[in-house]
Structures are given as structure tokens and as C-alpha cells.
Amino acid sequence: MAQKIEQNMNAAPNTPPVVKIRRSERAMELRRARLSLLKARWPILALVILIFMLFLALFGPQVAPKDPNRQNLILRLQAPMTENAEGVVDFPLGTDALGRDLYSRVIYGARVSLFVGLTAVIIGGFIGTMAGIVGGYYGGRVDDIIMRIADIQLAFPFILLTIMVLVVLGTGVLNLIVVLGVSQWVTYARIARAQTIAQREREYVEAARSAGARDWHIVCGEANGSWSTQS
């Protein structure tokens, strides 16, 4: 009797075969992605540049050699790498029409640019992914309405749409983030919709439905791992 109890206790933590298959498939996909990244090499260079810009943006006040808003009309419009009387380069990228250090201004400007770009991508990705998953999973009228809204937005030129929204909301960084985020959701929606349609009839989705799982649980739990590896 004691041996049976010990065997049951040892067998309980075993991972189900389906979970093992999913983990192995995900590991293979990640390995392929790493090999492709190393083979291409150009993405690694872009990643290094992005990390460097992120470092400058996070530690801008410590890295910037001068105050980006300090003006000096005597030193205006200096060329890059110009040496002073002592042979020292004060302005690596030169100065603007008001004598401000361009290198320091680029560092401080990178903080705003990265914040705007990253936030806009997060907003557009979240809206587009949710809309694509809902449309692809339910199909029918829901899918038609979402895709027709996407087609209507694509019919408007991006610059015209941006001007229209900024005229209504007004100028500012936050409004610019909203405009960029909302204008990008269509691309994410199409990708998420295509992956959802490809996965919604798979066996594990049908098994989850038969077990009485709710739609949102199926989308976020059962199919999330497979969609992420496919995308």
C-alpha cells in the first residue's frame, strides 16, 4: 500500500504530453530565431545601436557634456569636431544658429523620440492585436466590422489623418502619441487576425471548447502559446 502511494506521488508531478510537445516546439522556434538572427548579422548591429541610444536616453543628464539649452552666439554655427585655442574639441557635432551644443541636444532629443515611439508602438500593438484576435476568433459580422474600419482608415493618407486628429485634439506630445498609436493598429490587427484564423480550428482549441472553457480563456490561455510561436 505504501509503495502504491509513493508511486502515485512520484507520478503526480509528471508533465502532460501535450505540454511537453508545446514546450519543445517553442524551444525549437526560439532556437531557429536565434540562429536566423546570428546568421543575418544586420539585426544584431541594429540592436546594438538601439541599446546604445537607449543608454543615452536613460542617462542623458549624466552623459551630455553641456546644457542643451545654453546659448552662446559667439560660438554659433561651428562645424563638427572644431578645436578651440587649446586644441580641445568642445562641440563634437558642432553648434546651431543659437550656439547650442548639437551633441547634447541629440542626446536629450533621443529621450523624447524613444518615449514617443515606444509608447505609440505599445498602444498600436495592443489595440491591433486585441481587435485582430476578436475578429479572427468570432468571425462573421464582428470580423467584417473590424476589417471595414481598418479599410476605411487605410483609405485616408497618414499625413491627412494626423492633421485632422491634431486639429481636433490640439498639439502636444501626448496627442502625437495617440495619433501614432491609433494609426498603426491596422497592421497588427491583420497579422493577429490571420494567426487567429489559422489556430482557432486546431485540436487543442476544440478540446478546450469541449471541456467548457470560455472564449477569453481559450484565446489567452490555450492558444496563446501556439500563436506566439507562429508569429
CA pair distance 183, 120, nearest whole angstrom: 9
Contact between 60 and 107 (Cβ < 8 Å): yes
DSSP 81: T
CA pair distance 192, 187, nearest whole angstrom: 9
CA pair distance 60, 107, nearest whole angstrom: 6
Write the CA distances from 25 to 32, 79, 105, 211, 225, integer angstroms: 11, 55, 47, 24, 10
Pull the grid cell for residue 44: 544584431
pLDDT beyond 80 at 209: no
For the chain, the domains span 16-58
Is 44 in a helix, a strand, or coil? helix
Asked whether the whole model's pTM tops 0.75, one would answer no
Average of per-residue pLDDT values in the chain: 78
For residue 137, count CB atoms less than 10 angstroms from its CB and return exposed for 0-12, middle for 13-18, buried for 19 or more.
buried
Query: What pLDDT, on the 0 to 100 scale, is given for residue 45?
Result: 82
Query: What pLDDT, on the 0 to 100 scale, is given for residue 62?
Result: 81
pLDDT in tens, 132-190: 988 888 888 988 999 999 988 888 888 887 888 788 888 788 888 888 888 889 989 99
Q: Does residue 178 or residue 221 have the better pLDDT?
A: 178
Contact between 124 and 183 (Cβ < 8 Å): yes
pLDDT in tens, 120-136: 999 999 999 989 988 88
